[in-house]
Structure 1
Amino acid sequence: MGKGIYISKAVAVACVVLAVGAVATIIALSVVYSQEKSKNEVTSVSTDSPDVTTATATTATTATTATASNSSSTPLPPTTPSIPSEPWKLYRLPISLTPISYNVTLWPRLQPNAQNLFIFSGHSKVVFRCDKETDLILIHSNKLNLTIFDGYHAKLTGLSGAVAPTLRKTWLEVPTQYLVVQLNGPLKAGSTYELFTEFVGELADDLGGFYRSEYFEDGVKKVVATTQMQPTDARKAFPCFDEPAMKAVFHVTIIHPLGTIALSNSMNHGQTLTQTSFEPTEIMSTYLLAFVVSDFGYIGTKPGAEVLIRIWARQQAITEGQGDYALNKTGPILKFFEDYYNISYPLKKSDQIALPDFSAGAMENWGLITYRETALLYNPEVSSNGDKEWVATVISHELAHMWFGNLVTTRWWNDLWLNEGFATYVSYLGAHDAEPEWNMKDLIVLNEIIGVMGVDALASSHPLSSKEADIQKPEDISQLFDSITYSKGAAVLRMLSEFITESVSTNPNCEILRSQAVNEEGIKLPSSVEHIMNRWILQMGFPVITIDTKTGKTTQKHFLLDPDSVVDRPSPFNYEWFIPITWIKTGVEKNQIWLLEKEATFGEMALGASDWLVANVKMRGFYRVNYDSENWDRLLNQLSTQHQNIPEINRAQIIDDAFNLARAKIVNTTLALRTTKFLNKEVEYMPWQTASLNLDYFFLMFDRSEVYGPMQAYIKKQVTPLFKYFEGITANWTKIPENHTDQYNQVNAISLACSSGVKACNDLTTKWFKEWMTNPANNKISPNLRSTVYCSAIAAGGAEEWDFAWGMYKNATIASEADKLMHALSCTKQPWLLNRYLEYTLDTKMIRKQDATFTIVYIAGNPIGQPLAWDFIRSRWNYIFNNYGSGSFNFGRLISGVTKRFSTEFEYKQLLQFKEDNKGQFGSAATSLEQSLERTKANMNWVAMNKQEVLEWFTSETSSPAS
């Protein structure tokens, strides 16, 4: 365990803000990193209950080389709790033992045994220190068959002269996932001991712990043994103290078949015919441990490089050059983060490996990052512009973790947002450095912020930071891996970085940031950045500000998509925020001002008769904006006449705010629809994409009603000029637009034109797909357009097109191409084909387990497939939950994806019955279920209130000539 310095919540969060603020302020955080790096030696870290530090709901916490943060909405008493009589029934480890090092040997079998099971066996020695006298050892163990040793499941040895008591009783406590070792005498405080265990486990295909991945190459079935430990699955590989604060050094040895390569976090230390041992790791958490056995190939940096970089994948993928882009970008992104953190990459090597089966997008194991193939591999002949961006941003995200998350680690999962929100935000900075022409610093708005605002506007949302006591069970932890943690975390850090200036002055330990360092305009601020930030991290949701441009009066309130929903989560700040307001007045950006109370009047925001105002420049702030009706009319007039005078992001923001304000009954729905009228003159990506996302809600609500026809006709009217624009600049679809976002908007043009019935578009996509069917070996469809072309052609076709696409999907050797086909197969309008596709998700030979939940959600996105998918998951829920409900980061999306069209009382009652019928069987999807219930209720109310008005508006607009 690394020697920890003690960092309070205030310091940890302030340091994060410093790190994302400006180049000059990054040094402060780097100092903390440097201190921890220099103290990276085996010693103790207290895990006592936090001490009270402030009256603003923050608590002290321990740095676990270093711990970044811990928060609570209610300060905990500074007392040590008494040890319960049966501590093995609690989900948190007691504070009596601290691991120092592990020596783990594992032997995965890549062939099934006589019982047709893949297994692994091994043994482990963990050296630990006793910090508090105890006669009990609790160590995590799950799904392992512990081998009896001398009549017991374990053997204990005293070190450095310590005498180990004998073992009285051992057993596996299944609910809390412990190996419990009761002793006949006490372990002495200050003494060190070694616990030896032997075990056998299943190398299952469950995508968690030590598991297997299968694929075919040249007709031969191959098996890979690999890992996914985060958040609580290291215990499935070997007995360990499986909490992030319990850092230790790991000595790993892998026994593996001839012809395979073993990889782990550190450099291999020596290899025999069947055994590879590795150098000791840095002091690190169990969830970052990784090992892989495969016959993969690799490409890497030349010998003598300061850091060895290698990209590993299936031999065919490496031979085809699919790892080249990742190799080319990893070095520059690593260098960017070395400069950003002002500290060198702390390891000798950076292995990155693409796995055929992987539950998440990627995992930041220190020195051995594991990826889905789509997140690491790129083939310019087949992969799209979006595929390339995904590879760059995921690599950047995972490399950011090498420092923030791995070197510096949050003590407990309740502050996961600091880890993942930070990595998400800076991934856009790293990707921007690697691809400066892509406009990545703006694309974060579309990729992260707009979507998560829809989630955080629900009464069933949650704060970024939770009470530690509220996050105990593995399923509690898994639920935190959601868009609030990742995307809202990134959005809040981006917002805060905007108002911290380069003039920030702070001591080396980032103890506090005073108000005068934050704002130079003389505006009275809270006493510290901590007080500002607590408003955003300790209470859920975000505000809507309403600006009366006649007087400058500005008010704030908690924004809820359904204003009638009941918010039963208490807030320490009564749902008020400290809000940095940026604004543009008739094309001129003004100075930032602060809204610190429920309301205030800012004379500078009062407008003249011909002026217009748009607030929240480039959506830097995590809030929505409403205006008086006169300013709304001026903004709409500006969009219809000279829309370019409003920044592109703010054109998108006006659309997004208006649609969401309408759903919240704050403005009229027709006002929101009017914000799309200028789109027949718009050619930029962000406004079109935002409009498409918001109009998609209208399709979800009305695509089974009489509103659908006029709505489709309106979209056709608006998108036809965009379709013709791209037809022109691409020389009749023969060239690829040069600009990154133009390539995205070309996809919008074809997708919306085909779905709204533009004949030229449907003729085009059908023709391209038919040509491919005629010559399967020569697919001339542009990689950027394949996803939408495949979908359009399969929707227009029948079984012949579907079966062709299915065959191409099964034979695809490039994961990104397989993903496009997997989605397109859900576009058919034939119910029997969709039902067959749903059945395929139950067979891992047909659909990989990592893709099953995505496939069901894709099918539910089809109005014909939605009721089929709903019936399917209800009838197969027991199977689905048992196979995907434990530890799957994507499981929560299944319920929300299948129920997103729900808008009737009948559907709401069905969802309630589903909840009742499957009590206790929702796991990491429990929160998603509650959010789906809330959304359904809101949808019911919204449709009842708006259906007639929406029908009349679309009918009127389609009967009038284009403006």
Structure 2
Amino acid sequence: MRKHHHADRKSLTRTIIQQIVFKINKNATNNNKTIFSGRQCPVSVCYIHRCTVSVFTIAYCVCAWTFSITLSVKGILLPLRTFGNNTIMNILIQCIGSFGIHYSKDYTEADFHFIMRGAALIRMLANFMGHSVFQRGLQDYLTLHKYGNAARNDLWNTLSEALKRNGKYVNIQEVMDQWTLQMGYPVITILGNMTVENRIIITQQHFIYDISAKTKALQLQNNSYLWQIPLTIVVGNRSHVSSETIIWVSNKSEHHRIAYLDKGSWILGNINQTGYFRVNYDLRNWKLLIDQLIRNHEEYILKQVATTYIKLGWPKNNFNGSLLQASYQHEIPLNVRDIVYCTGVSLLDEDVWEFIWMKFHSTTAVSEKKILLEALTCSDDRNLLNRLLNLSLNSEVVLDQDAIDVIIHVARNPHGRDLAWKFFRDKWKILNTRYGEALFMNSKLISGVTEFLNTEGELKELKNFMKTYDGVASASFSRAVETVEANVRWKRLYQDELFQWLGKAVRH
């Protein structure tokens, strides 16, 4: 085992607590890029689009995955590497939070959840293969099929050969077919063996967010699902953490011997969330992980910001004047601009909202316009939110593709959730006419507006609304109902208990 460096602590914290997702600096991309499905990625990777529909999904995913790797291999500053990782993490959180994903042969049933799920799987594949081996395998694949078509298995077989040349023997097709052709994803449970030291029990099962859904859908009652899971783990205690190791989990239940694991050590699985699965632990291990995160957290944060603090320093006098001068000399960094704008709009008055609105109209940079527009949705003023929703339908003011983001971000604002939901229902005919043919966008809108609905009344409204427009975007609306039913159930079971716990914590 090696010393627990700050990098290890950072890895541990990032794995358990999802970091804030930052925007990727547009200037970080290199010139050899092309636009593919709304993302920037290397031209060579986008060539995979020439393959079959199944591999089309992979092409899109590689774009998302590759951008993170590009930032790392180009040696750009650490914060930019973090942006890439956080963007992929955000994709993973979104698709792992989707629990009703059903594969459909009808392409019209496909939506952006299916595409983002592929991005997470490609990231997992690249991680257990090793990034350099994965990239070499992709190059071989593109070379072999550059003048023709290819099927999904062609990609898997080429990657298996690349892995074999590196001395590793994994049947990529066998592994990935379980992830791409089976519904959903697994949850791993790691249990400590109380009778034998250094031993753990690892189980896997099909993860169902809403347990009650099993009684409603026959396909969810299938207990035969199995995945070959590349589980990365580390073991640690108060002063040390082990190096990362990988365990392949293929059965419902397995016993494994883990080095350095004793009664005082915790175990952490799925490092950096590279795997497309959830991980659960026994109560003892959860407590050890919580204790590890709490211990010396202030010292850790100070270490992280110390260099910045020293670099900036403080003037001996004229403090306010220096702040004013600094505001003109230093632009708000792009990676925190969305947070700064949003916070300002939410805490300050209507004048600030109008100022941001004016900036939105005057700027010509597309990325800046998007950040400003999303900041406008952060207001606590319901009148301003209503005004913005209505303006979003004016194509001369807000681009059609940006209007969806306006509605979704208002729905995520606690002060605007009901406004966005009512607006969505009232304007559905207009919205469906505008986005109905753009399957991904329509599905994104339905999911975004309904994902935070959590009352019996809202669930009833959603079901009644579906009956009114029976057959329109049925798959997306069915998933929305699953989401809201799960939200209502969770709220009923845990809200009071959670509020009591929070109240007790605040009092102490």
TM range, normalised to the smaller chain? 0.7 to 0.9
The yes-or-no answer on 1:471 pairing with 2:123 is: no
Which one of the candidate residues 795, 801, 823 is aligned to 2:346? 795
Q: Is the 8 A contact 1:498 1:620 kept in 2?
A: no
The yes-or-no answer on 1:532 pairing with 2:175 is: yes
Report Cα offsets for 1:21-43 as digits up to 9, x if no partner: xxxxxxxxxxxxxxxxxxxxxxx
Q: 1:937 Cα shift?
A: 0.9
Change in Cα spacing, 1:950 to 1:329, as seen in structure 2 (3 Å) is same
The yes-or-no answer on 1:410 pairing with 2:58 is: no
Q: 1:868 Cα shift?
A: 1.3
Give the whole-Å Cα distance in 2 for the aligned partners of 1:425 and 1:859. 29
1:839 is paired with a residue whose SS is helix
Instruction: Specify the alignment match of 1:627 in structure 2.
Output: 281
Change in Cα spacing, 1:449 to 1:826, as seen in structure 2 (3 Å) is closer
Give the residue type in structure 1 aligned to 2:486: A
Q: 1:402 Cα shift?
A: 4.3
Report Cα offsets for 1:125-165 as digits up to 9, x if no partner: xxxxxxxxxxxxxxxxxxxxxxxxxxxxxxxxxxxxxxxxx
Superposition pairs of residues 325-404 of structure 1, within 5 angstroms? 325=27, 329-331=30-32, 362-363=35-36, 394-395=39-40, 397-404=41-48
Superposition pairs of residues 445-844 of structure 1, within 5 angstroms? 445-449=85-89, 451-456=91-96, 458-463=98-103, 470-472=105-107, 475-476=108-109, 479=111, 482-498=114-130, 510=157, 513=160, 517=164, 528-550=171-193, 551-566=199-214, 567-569=217-219, 574-586=224-236, 587-589=241-243, 591-604=245-258, 607-641=261-295, 678=297, 680=298, 682-683=300-301, 728=309, 731=312, 781-784=331-334, 785-844=336-395
Structure 2 unmatched runs, 5+: 1-24, 145-153, 194-198
Give the residue type in structure 1 aligned to 2:31: T
Change in Cα spacing, 1:607 to 1:539, as seen in structure 2 (3 Å) is same
Higher relative contact order (CA 8 A, sep 6+): 2
Instruction: Specify the alignment match of 1:181 in structure 2.
Output: none
Report Cα offsets for 1:934-958 as digits up to 9, x if no partner: 1111111111221222122222322
Q: 1:590 Cα shift?
A: 5.6
Higher strand share: 1
Report Cα offsets for 1:22-78 as digits up to 9, x if no partner: xxxxxxxxxxxxxxxxxxxxxxxxxxxxxxxxxxxxxxxxxxxxxxxxxxxxxxxxx
Give the whole-Å Cα distance in 2 for the aligned partners of 1:905 and 1:726. 51
Give the whole-Å Cα distance in 2 for the aligned partners of 1:681 and 1:564. 44
Change in Cα spacing, 1:722 to 1:866, as seen in structure 2 (3 Å) is farther
Instruction: Specify the alignment match of 2:407 in structure 1.
Output: 856
Give the residue type in structure 2 aligned to 1:565: A
Change in Cα spacing, 1:729 to 1:415, as seen in structure 2 (3 Å) is same
Give the whole-Å Cα distance in 2 for the aligned partners of 1:725 and 1:592. 34
Q: 1:867 Cα shift?
A: 1.2
Change in Cα spacing, 1:839 to 1:511, as seen in structure 2 (3 Å) is closer
Give the whole-Å Cα distance in 1 for the aligned partners of 2:93 and 2:26. 36
Q: Is the 8 A contact 1:838 1:869 kept in 2?
A: yes
Q: 1:363 Cα shift?
A: 3.0
Give the whole-Å Cα distance in 1 for the aligned partners of 2:276 and 2:498. 29
Q: Which has the larger radius of gyration?
A: 1
Q: Is the 8 A contact 2:133 2:162 kept in 1?
A: no
Report Cα offsets for 1:169-196 as digits up to 9, x if no partner: xxxxxxxxxxxxxxxxxxxxxxxxxxxx
2:470 is paired with a residue whose SS is coil
1:850 is paired with a residue whose SS is helix
Give the whole-Å Cα distance in 1 for the aligned partners of 2:158 and 2:407. 49
Report Cα offsets for 1:466-485 as digits up to 9, x if no partner: 5xxx235xx345x2575435
Q: 1:874 Cα shift?
A: 0.7
Higher helix share: 2
Q: 1:426 Cα shift?
A: 2.5
Q: 1:598 Cα shift?
A: 0.4
Give the whole-Å Cα distance in 2 for the aligned partners of 1:799 and 1:682. 38
Give the residue type in structure 1 aligned to 2:189: T
Instruction: Specify the alignment match of 1:32 in structure 2.
Output: none
Change in Cα spacing, 1:941 to 1:729, as seen in structure 2 (3 Å) is farther
Q: 1:848 Cα shift?
A: 1.8
Give the whole-Å Cα distance in 2 for the aligned partners of 1:733 and 1:410. 58
Change in Cα spacing, 1:572 to 1:803, as seen in structure 2 (3 Å) is same
Give the whole-Å Cα distance in 1 for the aligned partners of 2:165 and 2:187. 23
Q: TM-score, normalised by structure 2?
A: 0.76
Give the residue type in structure 2 aligned to 1:461: I
Instruction: Specify the alignment match of 1:900 in structure 2.
Output: 451
Structure 1 unmatched runs, 5+: 1-322, 335-351, 353-361, 365-370, 372-393, 643-677, 684-720, 735-763, 773-777
Give the whole-Å Cα distance in 2 for the aligned partners of 1:780 and 1:512. 47
Superposition pairs of residues 941-960 of structure 1, within 5 angstroms? 941-960=489-508
1:902 is paired with a residue whose SS is coil
Q: Is the 8 A contact 2:58 2:119 kept in 1?
A: no
Q: 1:783 Cα shift?
A: 3.7
Q: Is the 8 A contact 1:514 1:529 kept in 2?
A: no
Q: Is the 8 A contact 1:552 1:602 kept in 2?
A: yes
Give the residue type in structure 2 aligned to 1:532: V
Q: 1:806 Cα shift?
A: 1.6
Q: 1:605 Cα shift?
A: 6.2
Change in Cα spacing, 1:597 to 1:439, as seen in structure 2 (3 Å) is farther
Change in Cα spacing, 1:828 to 1:880, as seen in structure 2 (3 Å) is same
Q: Is the 8 A contact 2:48 2:55 kept in 1?
A: no
Give the whole-Å Cα distance in 1 for the aligned partners of 2:166 and 2:248. 9
Give the whole-Å Cα distance in 1 for the aligned partners of 2:79 and 2:333. 21
Give the whole-Å Cα distance in 1 for the aligned partners of 2:360 and 2:387. 15
Report Cα offsets for 1:54-112 as digits up to 9, x if no partner: xxxxxxxxxxxxxxxxxxxxxxxxxxxxxxxxxxxxxxxxxxxxxxxxxxxxxxxxxxx
The percentage of counterpart residues that share the same residue type is: 23
Superposition pairs of residues 278-293 of structure 1, within 5 angstroms? none
Which one of the candidate residues 426, 437, 449 is aligned to 2:77? 437
Q: 1:457 Cα shift?
A: 5.0
Q: TM-score, normalised by structure 1?
A: 0.42
Give the residue type in structure 2 aligned to 1:879: I
Give the residue type in structure 2 aligned to 1:813: T
Give the whole-Å Cα distance in 2 for the aligned partners of 1:448 and 1:791. 22
Give the whole-Å Cα distance in 2 for the aligned partners of 1:722 and 1:732. 16
Give the residue type in structure 2 aligned to 1:542: Y
Q: 1:441 Cα shift?
A: 6.7
Give the whole-Å Cα distance in 1 for the aligned partners of 2:162 and 2:203. 22
Give the whole-Å Cα distance in 1 for the aligned partners of 2:299 and 2:505. 16
Q: 1:892 Cα shift?
A: 1.8
2:471 is paired with a residue whose SS is coil
Q: Is the 8 A contact 1:429 1:440 kept in 2?
A: no
The yes-or-no answer on 1:867 pairing with 2:415 is: no
Give the whole-Å Cα distance in 2 for the aligned partners of 1:451 and 1:630. 30
Q: 1:576 Cα shift?
A: 1.0
Moved more, 905-914 or 813-822: 813-822
